[in-house]
Amino acid sequence: MTTQAVEIQILGKTMRVNCPAGQEEALVEAANDFDQRLHELSGRTKVTNTEQLLTIAALNVCYELLAEKQKSVDEKNDMEQRITLLQQTIEEALLKHSASKA
């Protein structure tokens, strides 16, 4: 897989990072989102230590990811229950229909 070097800016520091070819725009968007989160977090918490700020931001992102994963699992379980109920309803209707023809 070919990679492409992309220049991003986080907390005023420019970095070059490699990413898969064709994903440059997504990387820049992610970097911009992360940079914005860091600036907002710094303003809210008054934390100026970069290492602490990055740690807090990483924990926040991980928490959001876990919450989204749990939401996805809950939605999947709900969908599976609905499909099972729908299958049962269809089977019952088919049984009633075939019994009424007999």
Provide the CATH number for the domain around residue 67.
Answer: 3.30.160.880
User: What are the E-state strand segments in 1-102?
Assistant: 3-10, 13-20
Number of domains in the chain: 1
**pLDDT tens track for 43-82:** 999 998 999 999 999 999 999 999 999 999 999 999 999 9
Phi, psi of 12 (to 5 degrees): 80, 0
User: In this structure, is residue 99 part of a structural domain?
Assistant: no
Average pLDDT over residues 5-18: 96
Note down the domain range covering 15.
3-74
User: In this structure, is residue 60 part of a structural domain?
Assistant: yes
